[in-house]
Amino acid sequence: PIQESTIQQDLKAAGWTIIRQEDWSDRFIGWYAKLLEKLAVQEKNPFTRFKAEDLQKLKHTFTYIQAHLQQKRMGGRIIYARKS
C-alpha cells in the first residue's frame, strides 16, 4: 500500500514530481455503495450468470474496503505527477 507520509519521497526516488493531490475517499465510498447495491440485485436475480459464492466473495471484499474507507483506515487519493 501507498503510505501518505512517504509518497512524495517514494515518487521522487522513482523520478517523479508531484504536481497535486486530491482526496477522493468520499467518492470511492459512494462508488462502493453503488457497486454493493448492484451485487445485491444480482444475488436476487435467478438468471444471474454469477455463482452465489463468487457474489458473496465480492460483497465481502467490497464491504471490507468500504468500511475501511469510512473509518479512515484507508484512503482514496488521486496523485497528479510528472516525470522529472
Task: Write out the three cell numbers for 27.
Answer: 467518492
Q: Which amino acid is at 19?
A: I
pLDDT, mean of residues 45-66? 92
Contact between residue 11 and residue 83 where contact means Cβ atoms under 8 Å apart:
no
pLDDT (tens digit per residue) in 1-49: 788 889 999 999 999 999 999 999 999 999 999 999 999 998 888 888 8
Task: Write out the three cell numbers for 57.
Answer: 466473495
Predicted local distance difference test score (pLDDT) of residue 2: 83
